Structure 1
Amino acid sequence: MSAAEAAAMRRALALAAGGPPHGPNPRVGCVLLGPHGDVLAEGRHEGAGTPHAEVAALAAARAAGRPTAGATAVVTLEPCRHTGRTGPCTRALVEAGVARVVAAVEDPGPRAGGGAEELRAAGVDVVVGHAREEAEALTRYWRHAVATGRPFVTLKWASTLDGRVAAPDGTSRWLTGAPARADVHRRRAGADAVVVGTGTALVDDPWLTTRDPGTDRPLPRQPLRTVVGRRPLPPGARLLDDAAETLLLPTHDVEAVLTALAEREVRHAWVEGGPTLAAAFLRAGAVDEVVAYLAPALLGGGPAVVADLGAVSVRDTVRLDLVSVETVGGDVALVARPRRGPARTSSTTSTTSTTSTTGTTAAAPASAPAGRTS
């Protein structure tokens, strides 16, 4: 790569980072360079149904009257080769006379992927792999969903140092301080859906909205509130208000929950349920990340963070690899990722029936995400 291409990739990554963090499609940025390394135009993907970054950059070059024949497209994701809500980027690049493509990372989608080979077959010089780590970080949740057919799952809890999420009388507000709660809202706002069990919904009566830490006002965009379990919510439950959409899933089957969320094009699910729901996701091997807030306090009794995982010996321990630890106010926020091994079998049963409730939507069968949908 030339120095101009390296600088263009840094700019493309910045463009991608400024794109919408939610929705079914990845964040992608593109910079077009002339034959002598001069910047012709740039673009980024603004969300489902809008032009992809490469097409947006080509349109900007045309609008500025700058020829693209012999140009280099520096893009954070391999150009797609399929027709969805928009046409294939590979064809647009070839028709524009682009001579070289520098992409940070491959597209893992079964339909959209393979664009590099298609471009090479058309005579375009293609290089893939520069700034791979940065590009993968920008598309982490999307890439996981495309590769696995299910959302990336973050399991969150707040507990005392002795692992209690509530006192023996059931009270749990507030174990952690205001800065930690504000951090939860910040992280929750980055998810497409927030998931709890009916037990948490009935005991805590939460809103599960994301709010501005300074004003406590709801943010303009809210994640899909998802309630798992067969017990009905009372008519006055906060989860049934109009602050955000709520999806009721009358099942205990984790796979059914993930399938329903995938059908809704959820790429990142934030699970905040209590010990029972946490254990169900862990037993199913469906947790990709744990975010734990630890308060420097002791209760000595009350429910533990996670219910029975079926462990009978230390050798059955679910091991996690530490990613980060930081102090948040007077508490500690810890991020870890489970070490992958054989999935544990869930002891819960499933139901395929769904019910519709006022202010809610019912689940539907899902298919695996195919990649970029526009």
Structure 2
Amino acid sequence: MRPRVTLKLATSLDGRIATASGESQWITGEAARAEGHRLRATHDAVLVGIGTALADDPLLTVREPGLEDRQPVRVVMDSRQRLDPDSKLARSAGESPVIVLTIQLPAPALVRAGVEVIQIHTGRDGRVSLRHALTTLRDRGLISLLVEGGGEVAGSFLRADAVDRIEWFRAPILLGAEGRPGIGSLAIDELGQARRFRRLAAEPCGDDLWERYERL
């Protein structure tokens, strides 16, 4: 059994999450970011890959007024334990739980910072086994998981057919093929292999478009 997984995307119209140089703050507007915080508040845990953790140094907390007491467990997929013990996530681990999923033995510096480091089985790609990671999170009582990125992590969840819903915030800008994609490789050769979803809603969110989908 695994948690119910929601993939949250905040992209340009053409599905990019950053420019070629990595600039990403902010593609979507304030209204979309506020809804993103509300989504965090309704999930047991929020997950990012180590690439996002290193590039953005995020807190991944809920900072929307009135929801500060609805903090999710913060999870980083970090096969080689590259998370900096001085990062915002590690330094705030005493205030709200942080879990690092790795294929290595726990790094003492992260443990001393208060981060829970969990050694996960190694997948075929030499990284954290997504199936074992999800089972481990569910065994810890985390029933709902919000996946926030980046593109490689989004692609890995979709390849594993482990996404139940998509919350997609799309900004009215175009970044082009050189921009960084919101979804990494899906290893699809034919249309029949494509992951299919049913659209539940599409509505304005400030200047952006908020689209919601569920798996078929």
Shift of 1:180: 0.6
Alignment of 1:363-374 (within 5 A): none
CA contact (8 A) 2:40 2:71 kept: no
Residue 213 of structure 1 and its aligned partner are, at CA, apart by: 4.7
Question: Aligned with 1:165: secondary structure?
Answer: strand
- Tell me the CA shift for residue 263 of structure 1: 1.5
> Match of 1:294?
170
Q: Of 174, 182, 196, which aligns to 1:319?
A: 196
Normalised by the size of structure 1, how large is the TM-score?
0.49
Structure 2 unaligned spans of 5+: 104-127
How far is the alpha carbon of 1:264 from its aligned partner?
A: 1.2
Q: Report if the CA contact (8 A) 2:85-2:91 is conserved.
A: no
Which residue is 2:206 aligned to?
329
Counterpart of 1:233 in structure 2 is 83
Partner of 1:175: 27
Higher strand share: 2
Residues 197 and 213 of structure 2 are in contact (CA less than 8 Å); yes or no, is this contact kept in structure 1? yes
Residue 132 (structure 1) aligns with: none
Give the Cα–Cα distance (whole angstroms) in 1 for the partners of residues 138 and 194 of structure 2: 29
- For the residues of structure 1 that align with 2:194 and 2:139, how far apart are their CA atoms? 33
Q: In the TM superposition, what is the alpha-carbon distance from 1:221 to its structure 2 partner?
A: 3.0
Q: Which amino acid aligns with 1:309?
A: L
Code of the aligned partner of 1:189 = A
Which residue does the alignment assign to 2:96? 244
- Partners of 2:70 and 2:207 in 1: CA distance: 29
Q: For residues 310 and 197 of structure 1, what CA distance do their matches in structure 2 show?
A: 19
Decide which structure has the larger Cα Rg and report it: 1
Identity of aligned residues (%): 41
Deviations 1:167-207 (A, max 9, x none): 00001100000011001001110000001111110111100
What residue is the counterpart of 1:262 in the other structure? Answer: 138
Mapped to 2, the partners of 1:303 and 1:258 lie a distance apart of 26
Deviations 1:113-168 (A, max 9, x none): xxxxxxxxxxxxxxxxxxxxxxxxxxxxxxxxxxxx21100011100001111000
RMSD between superposed Cα atoms in Å? 1.4
**Structure of greater relative contact order (alpha carbons < 8 Å, 6+ residues apart):** 2
